[in-house]
Chain A
Amino acid sequence: MSGEVISSERIPINLRTEALEQLLVERGLVDPQVMDTFIRTYEKDVGPLNGAKVVAKAWTDPEYRERLLDDGTSAVAELGFKGPQGEHIVVVENTDAVHNVVVCTLCSCYPWPLLGLPPAWYKDPAYRSRVVREPRTVLTEMGLELSQDTEITVWDSSSEVRFFVLPQRPSGSENLSEAELAALVTRDAMVGVAQVRT
């Protein structure tokens, strides 16, 4: 290895990451503690529990639901959710008639303040490429069988607008509290590849 630069193909990505971090840290361009803060924020603080609170409130408070569908950005900010990748939020509601599903074909844009960082499936080329061509097939492969009577609307996030799905409230959940409802709501339902179950 000595004497020449190893070719990029042969550098394991973890080593490459360490090398870049070291180069920037030793020149004072990057503070490792700031890096730790970014990482911890998205590991611990900002995740799908935020979105689940929005959904549960919309299910139990009709006026909030109206505000959420009318101006998503302001309505989620009422609950304190804003920040990077949440400049302008549009909320779309799933019903028996229409099922909404969100993708970003060009990268993996995702409403971070509500859902955190995107899961592996959302970033997978098969999802990105195919859900805008054969969404019903893709959803079936991912375990969601929709009624043939339900129309599908796919939202491809190409600007800084971020789309968020308000899932259908499951039957049998009538007596649950807002907190109990929030516990049922999954990340996948708020992107539109799953439904919420009791």
Chain B
Amino acid sequence: MKAIQLASGVADMGGDSGWGHAPAIEPDEAVFSEEWEGRAFALALLSMRISGSNLDAFRHAMNRLDREHYIDDGYYGRWLYGAENLLLDSAIIAPGAVEARAANLAGGHVDEPSIPESEKPDYAPTAAGSIRQIDTPRKFTVGQRVRAKTMTAPGHTRLQKYTQGHVGTVTIAEPAQVLPDTHAHFIAENAQWVYTVSFDSRELYDEGAENFTLNTDLYEDYLEAAS
């Protein structure tokens, strides 16, 4: 469970095809369409605290779900499974504990695993939130051409597949933020500058693509200067 796993799995779906027709808008939908969704939402927020974890680790805990667990129970389903991953990682709950309790709630009589000794990460953020003040000069400036690197390292990242290897232009210098790639694995905050980079759709895809501009925020480590 603790091994760093590859990439973002099914979550990294930007630019993919095969997901069908665009969704219909339901103007009056409930915030939580079923009661369990609200419970899962709250449990996930609290699980980040209980497990000594953080938001980036939570995102990675969802990204490493298999397709079935990521998709089949919807958004709050993956929140619940992600929360369980965090709690298992920090040994707050034992493997099989949730399944056993669910079986007993459903009228079964199964033995439940004993409570493990917790193993929270030995790691604490230097401040609340993700934005940090840093003194390092910016590597890139507004107007500069930059290329999104191709990521081959395993582990969490916010660098989407569909931007990797493509050249765009820095359009906004955003505040410095902790780097999700290291923060998610409790290695370091690695706070660094973030840039909004604008890509031409035909650079991202091909000449036949719809004509539009794609803006996304990329951390300094994700970028290299392009000529």
Interface residues of A (CB under 8 A from B): 1-9, 11, 13-24, 27, 29-30, 34-36, 38-39, 42-43, 47, 87-88, 90, 103, 105-108, 116-121, 123-138, 141-143, 151-161, 186, 188, 193-194
Q: How far is the CB of B91 from chain A (nearest CB, A)?
A: 13
Q: Which 7 A-B residue pairs are closest in the complex by CB-CB distance?
A: A105-B14, A159-B217, A35-B42, A141-B22, A14-B36, A19-B101, A121-B23
Residues of A within 8 A of B24 (CB): 121, 142
Chain B residue at minimal CB-CB distance from A123? B75
Of A35, A42, A47, which is in contact with the most chain B CB atoms at under 10 Å from its CB?
A35
Docked complex Cα distance between A155 and B131 (Å)? 20
By beta carbon, the residue of chain A nearest B10 is: A125
Chain B minimum-CB-distance residue to A143: B25
B-side binding surface: helix, strand, loop or mixed? mixed
Q: When the two chains form the complex, which single residue of B34, B101, B110, B160 contacts A23, counting CB atoms closer than 8 Å?
A: B101
Bound Cα distance from A102 to B217, whole angstroms: 12
Q: A91 to nearest B CB, angstroms?
A: 12
A30 in contact with B43 (CB, 8 Å): yes
Question: In the bound complex, what is the Cα–Cα distance between A39 and B46 (angstroms)?
Answer: 12
State whether B218 touches A158 (Cβ < 8 A).
yes
Closest to B77 in A: A13
Chain A residues near B158 (CB, 8 Å)?
106, 158-159
**Closest A residue, CB atoms, query B83:** A20
Is A153 a contact partner of B110 (Cβ separation < 8 A)? no
Taking a contact as CB atoms under 8 Å apart, the answer to whether B212 and A130 are in contact is: no
Interface of B toward A, CB cutoff 8 Å:
8, 11-27, 29-36, 38-43, 45-47, 50, 59, 62-63, 68-69, 71, 73-75, 77, 80, 83-84, 87, 92-93, 96-103, 105-110, 115, 129-131, 158-160, 162, 172, 174-175, 177, 194, 196, 201, 204-205, 209-219
A132 CA / B109 CA spacing, docked (Å): 49
Please indicate the chain A residues that have their CB under 8 angstroms from the CB of B205 in the complex.
Answer: 133
**Which residue of chain A has the shortest Cβ distance to B159 in the bound complex?**
A158
Q: Are A1 and B102 in touch, CB under 8 angstroms?
A: no
- Say yes or no: B74 contacts A19, CB within 8 Å: no
> CB-nearest residue of chain A relative to B84?
A20
Residues of A within 8 A of B21 (CB): 126, 141
Chain B residues within an 8 Å CB radius of A15: 102, 105-106
- The answer to whether A121 and B25 touch across the interface, beta carbons within 8 angstroms, is yes
Whether the Cβ atoms of A160 and B130 lie closer than 8 Å is yes
Q: Which A residues lie within 8 Å of B110 (CB)?
A: 1-5
- A4–B8 Cα distance when bound, in Å, is 33
Q: Which A residues are CB-close (under 8 A) to B103?
A: 1, 5-6, 11
Q: Complex formed: what's the CA distance from A138 to B158 in Å?
A: 24
Q: A18-B39, A154-B215 are in contact. Are A8 and B174 (CB under 8 A)?
A: no
- Choose from A16, A27, A152 the contact partner of B80 (Cβ within 8 Å): A16
Give A154 Cβ to nearest chain B Cβ, in Å: 5
Q: For B26, what are the chain A residues with a Cβ–Cβ distance below 8 Å?
A: 119-121
- Given that A1-B108, A3-B110, A152-B212 are contacting pairs, would A38 and B27 also be in contact in the complex, using a CB cutoff of 8 Å? no
Q: How far is B78's CA from A107's CA once the two chains are assembled, in angstroms?
A: 10
Candidates B12, B20, B131; contact of A106 at CB < 8 Å:
B12
